[in-house]
Amino acid sequence: MTNPYAGFLAGRDAKEVITASPARLAELAKTLGAAGLERRSAPGKWTAREILCHLADTEIAFAFRLRQALAEAHHVIQPFDQEKWAGNYASFTAADAVSAYSALRAWNLLLIRTVPDSALSKPLTHPERGAMTFQALLETMAGHDLNHMHQLEGIAASA
């Protein structure tokens, strides 16, 4: 199965991307400022602040997925409904989202750095995307980051 997020990598190393993402997101949040964080790229789309909240929530999901994939034989990933998770985003600040995301990512990177190369080919399954490997999970994390950073950059550029 083709990983839809891998296309965002455009040849970049997934581990390098996920390592650099927290600093880039913090920079984008600062660039956007209070007004920019409440802007949307289009009607019906999430605000920049909501995108940051989504990234924090998704990092929680990735934390579980990474650990389950390493601990279990042929782990089946549990999908989640991002729109239902987004129902609480009005209560959260961008600063809180960036802080949570950065802390969770740091914890995930500590784990990822311990993973031997032999584990990168470990199989797992996503019910909506099919068979994948641990490496594809890392590429999904990185591509997901880049997708949403592009959205945030677009919001910032539209100011």
Helices (H), the chain: 14-36, 48-71, 82-85, 94-112, 134-157
Residue 77: closest CA among 117, 129, 120: 129
- The token pair that represents 76 in the structure block: 């089946």
Contact 58, 147 (CB under 8 A): no
How confident is the model at residue 7, as a pLDDT? 86
Q: Cβ–Cβ contacts within 10 Å for residue 91, how many?
A: 8
Kindly report, residue by residue over 49-99, the tens digit of the pLDDT: 999 999 999 999 999 999 999 999 999 999 999 999 999 999 999 999 999
- The token pair that represents 34 in the structure block: 């209070």
Q: Give the C-alpha separation, 6 to 111, whole Å.
A: 21
pTM of the model: 0.95
What's the rounded mean pLDDT across residues 41-54?
96
How confident is the model at residue 107, as a pLDDT? 98
For the chain, domain boundaries: 6-157
How confident is the model at residue 139, as a pLDDT? 95
Residue 144: closest CA among 25, 2, 9, 1: 9
Domain at 6-157, CATH homologous superfamily: dinb family like domain (1.20.120.450)
The model's confidence at residue 26, banded by pLDDT at 50, 70 and 90, is: very high
Contact 141, 62 (CB under 8 A): yes
Kindly report, residue by residue over 97-137, the tens digit of the pLDDT: 999 999 999 999 999 999 999 999 999 999 988 899 999 99
Q: Residue type at 21?
A: S
How confident is the model at residue 59, as a pLDDT? 98
